[in-house]
Structure 1
């Protein structure tokens, strides 16, 4: 049974997004039950998962029709495996520092192609390991 998604900001649903785009819309299966989701589809599909109070962006996932990625596109990133696909991860330059809200900056930027869809995920609040767990749950 699929988990109910808590949408916010009058977002359109994942089902509605799938009807409007010509590529596979991947969504994470492993997210916290109390996160909310803000969606947008211009200029690409944006899935912004917020905390339960809808005050902090926890992870942003941007989807668009896939295009080839090469190692040359990401010379400073670490290669990672995401569901058998080559991905690229780079932590933030200010990782480990405290941001304006008092939170420690963690995470980074993660890119990969899956099922013909280009995926870019970023987070300042989740660790690399948490981001990879979410990425690997994308279907």
Structure 2
């Protein structure tokens, strides 16, 4: 798993972003060593983890100042535990089908609140289990 994060596209680092916002910028500790990170800071914080060739978006993590989540906001969800926080996972409607590149669509949306930060993770390349593992490594 990742020891030193490789940023791409002249992205701001996590520590630089943390200095600019008034909420916790969480990031995963368990990601593959060869993934790179492209950060976006407008209109909210987005962490785009790319494959080693910088050609496939593996997972996106959107962060913003926490707001309350309600079960009614996620009518088609599966509830999951993320570090003692109630999380909501919803798979994509076209899960199992093929995208325009011939890759099988997997994953979905995962939402939770942790340490005052709202987190939304999405992926069409990772399984639910892989997404939850990454989410549980967020600090």
Bin for the TM-score computed over the shorter chain: over 0.9
The Cα shift of 1:102 comes to 1.1
- Per-residue displacement from partner, 1:73-94 (whole Å, max 9, x unpaired)? 1111111100000000000000
Deviations 1:35-92 (A, max 9, x none): 0000011111000000000000000000000000010111111111000000000000
TM-score (norm 1): 0.98
What SS does the corresponding residue of 1:75 show, helix, strand or coil? coil
Which residue does 2:101 correspond to in 1?
Answer: 101
The root-mean-square deviation of aligned C-alpha atoms, in Å, is 0.8
Q: Which runs of 5+ in 1 are unaligned?
A: none
Residue 88 of structure 2 aligns to a residue whose secondary structure is strand
Structure 2 residue aligned with 1:19: 19
Q: Which residue of 1 aligns with 2:56?
A: 56
Alignment of 1:43-82 (within 5 A): 43-82=43-82
Matched residue of 1:134: which SS? helix
Q: Partners of 2:51 and 2:31 in 1: how far apart?
A: 11
How big is the shift at 1:103?
0.5
- Residue 131 of structure 1 corresponds to which residue in structure 2? 131
Distance 1:14 1:115 in 2: 16
TM-score (norm 2): 0.98
Residues 78-93 of structure 1 aligned to structure 2 (within 5 Å): 78-93=78-93
Moved runs in structure 1, 4+ residues, more than 2 A?
none
Looking at structure 2, the residues matched to 52 and 3 of structure 1 have their Cα atoms a distance apart, in angstroms, of 15
Q: Does 1:42 align with 2:76?
A: no
Matched pairs, number: 138
> SS of 2:129's equivalent?
helix
- Measured against aligned partners, the alpha-carbon deviations of 1:14-35 in whole angstroms (never above 9, x if no partner) come to 1100000100010000000000
Q: Could you list the runs of 5+ residues in structure 2 that have no partner in the other structure?
A: none
User: Does structure 1 residue 117 correspond to structure 2 residue 129?
Assistant: no
